[in-house]
Amino acid sequence: MEPIVTALKSVPIIDLTPARLGSQADKLAVARQIDEAARSIGFLVVRGHGVPQEVIEAASSVTRRFYDLSPSEKGRSRPRSKGVYRGYFGLETGNLASTIDEANAKPDHREYFTLGPVDVDAADPYYRTDLAKEIFLPNIWPADPQFRPAIEAYYRQMEELAGLLMNLCALGLGLDESWFDDKFDKHTTNLVLSNYPDQPDGVMDGQLRAGAHTDYGSLTILKTEDKPGGLEVQTADGRWEAVPIVADAFIINLGDLMAYWTNDEWVSTMHRVVNPPRDKAVGSRRQSLVFFHQPNYDARIACIPTCTAQAPKYPVTTANAHLQSKMAKMNDTPKFAEATN
Ligand SMILES: O=C(O)CCC(=O)C(=O)O
Ligand SMILES: [Fe+2]
């Protein structure tokens, strides 16, 4: 049976099938729907995406198995040195609301596992500079022999879907569909597997599963679960609304770089993950597979040629400079310092 679709007019559900299998005109029609969502709410739900269900299920199930391990077993996947953004980070190591400079932001009631690109060609000189070596760090893999193949397969499927979405974004913005290609051909995307545990004892005052924030990259592809205590977006008039969970679909949202590229014609929308109601706190455990599509580290982020109706608002930057400024705030927590010592 299909889960209930929460009625929410502001986050549209878009079928990608015509963009994958149809004519150029079909593709353009889908691109227009994406453009409309991107201008109004910055979130969309996509179905007909072509990602095999078994790849999603395998990635979800190894993730679940990983989070079922004891704290000390999970701790074996912790990074061994400071500054290594790979592997397992425990509860309250991250503080998403601090990335929007929220005073008094509490660390997130979430644990996560993060990995970077899975097909780096170590012989390519691009990856051999000192900066590139800091960015393309080797991934950390837990002992479960099924974990790495399932997660790598999922990562590669997300790369393909993200490529399609970026082509559609380019078309939606009136650019050649390949406009973003050379900005993502050596992308630095992190896949974050997040777990929001049950909250039998409640949480600190003001603490959330994930504090309000915008995402830092170009776009985010999210696979999550329909559980009490879920994802909310902030609408233009400041209200928080639940994002619909649709079977066989992914939630997509734009990140800051899209707002910079488009001079705010497209929105990087504020969102958060709320706590379950107290009477549903047990059994509310929720996991998310979050693909933060992030350009090449040296990609130049400047107002794109079709978005110059107003004078450019943002100084020119690079993808990595923006990411690092956000990560420094996100990881400025006592538990992050402990975890990476
Ligand atoms: O778990 C979710 O639903 C979304 C989490 C999120 O917004 C993030 O990790 O950036
Ligand atoms: Fe987010």
Q: What is the ipTM of this complex?
A: 0.99
pLDDT of 91 higher than 70: yes
Q: Which domain holds residue 234?
A: 50-327
Residue 277 domain-assigned (yes or no) = yes
pLDDT of 133 higher than 70: yes
pLDDT (average), residues 152-174: 98
Residue 341 domain-assigned (yes or no) = no
| pLDDT number for residue 233 | 95
Residue 335 domain-assigned (yes or no) = no
pLDDT band per the 50, 70, 90 thresholds, residue 9? low
Residue 29 domain-assigned (yes or no) = no
pLDDT of 1 higher than 60: no
Contact 88, 75 (CB under 8 A): yes
Give residue 7's Cα distance to chain centre: 23
Q: Which atom of ligand 1 approaches the CA of 288 most closely?
A: 1
User: For the chain, how many structural domains are there in total?
Assistant: 1
Lowest mean pLDDT segment, chosen from 207-211, 269-273, 321-325, 331-335 = 331-335
Residue 82 domain-assigned (yes or no) = yes
SS3 label, residue 222: strand
Nearest CA to 331 among 85, 74, 79, 137?
85
Pocket test for ligand 1, best of 43, 98, 194 (most atoms within 8 A of CB): 194
Q: Average pLDDT over the chain, rounded to whole?
A: 94
Nearest CA to 193 among 232, 155, 156?
155
pLDDT (average), residues 141-147: 98
pTM of the entire structure? 0.95
For residue 88, list its beta bridge partners: 113
pLDDT (average), residues 162-171: 98
Burial of 202 (0-12, 13-18, 19+ CB in 10 A): exposed
Residue 152 domain-assigned (yes or no) = yes
pLDDT of 47 higher than 50: yes
Do β-strands 190-196 and 286-293 pair in parallel, antiparallel, or remain unpaired?
Answer: antiparallel
Question: For residue 272, how far is its CA from the centre of ligand 1 (angstroms)?
Answer: 7
Contact 169, 259 (CB under 8 A): no
Question: For residue 122, how far is its CA from the centre of ligand 2 (angstroms)?
Answer: 30
Pocket test for ligand 1, best of 11, 290, 331 (most atoms within 8 A of CB): 290
* CATH label of the domain that carries residue 94: 2.60.120.330
Question: For residue 302, how far is its CA from the centre of ligand 1 (angstroms)?
Answer: 26
Residue 42 domain-assigned (yes or no) = no
pLDDT of 40 higher than 80: yes
Residues with CB under 6 A from ligand 1: 192, 194, 210, 215, 222, 224, 231, 271, 273, 288, 290
Q: Which atom of ligand 1 approaches the CA of 224 most closely?
A: 3
**Most distant CA pair in the chain: distance in Å?**
56
Contact 89, 168 (CB under 8 A): no
Residue 317 domain-assigned (yes or no) = yes
